[in-house]
Amino acid sequence: MRKIISTASLFILTLVFLTGCSGSKKTTEAITQSGMVNQLSKELGMTKDQTEAGLGAIMMLSKDKLSPDDFSKLSKGIPGGTSSLISEATKLGVVPGSVSSTADVISVLTKLGVSPVQAAKFSASVLKFAGSLGGSTLGLLSKVL
């Protein structure tokens, strides 16, 4: 009888643990995009809004430059996906379709008060961060930037 109770208890604890871990993963994903924005903001001395607008502009550029299949792969590799970054950039005044080059990304950032020096470093910092994400993210962004 003790063996059955011990086995049942172990099974229930395992089930509770696994359920808790799957819920934590969603929280971690949400934190990861925020962490990405925070890390880039801190590294470049930019505000959260400036960083999100810059990332959104890069995602808009990526959507135009990459094939739909490659853009889908990129979206899966970016924490939180690309749509939330594009949406935030749009809210901050970046017009979809207005970003067709890296120079346009720099222009977006300077219009938001980022110095030209910081803006010029932005793409390199994003590529550096993409390298830490693994997968094909760095290669796909390298095609765009």
Q: Walk along the chain (145 residues) and give the pLDDT tens digit of each residue.
A: 544 443 333 333 333 333 333 333 333 343 367 888 999 999 999 999 999 999 999 999 999 999 999 999 999 989 888 999 999 999 999 998 999 999 999 999 999 999 999 999 999 999 999 988 878 989 999 999 9
* C-alpha to C-alpha distance for 48 and 74, rounded to whole angstroms: 22
Degrees, nearest 5: CA angle 124-130-136 = 125
* C-alpha to C-alpha distance for 60 and 105, rounded to whole angstroms: 10
Find the radius of gyration of the CA atoms of the chain: 20
User: What is the pTM assigned to this prediction?
Assistant: 0.76
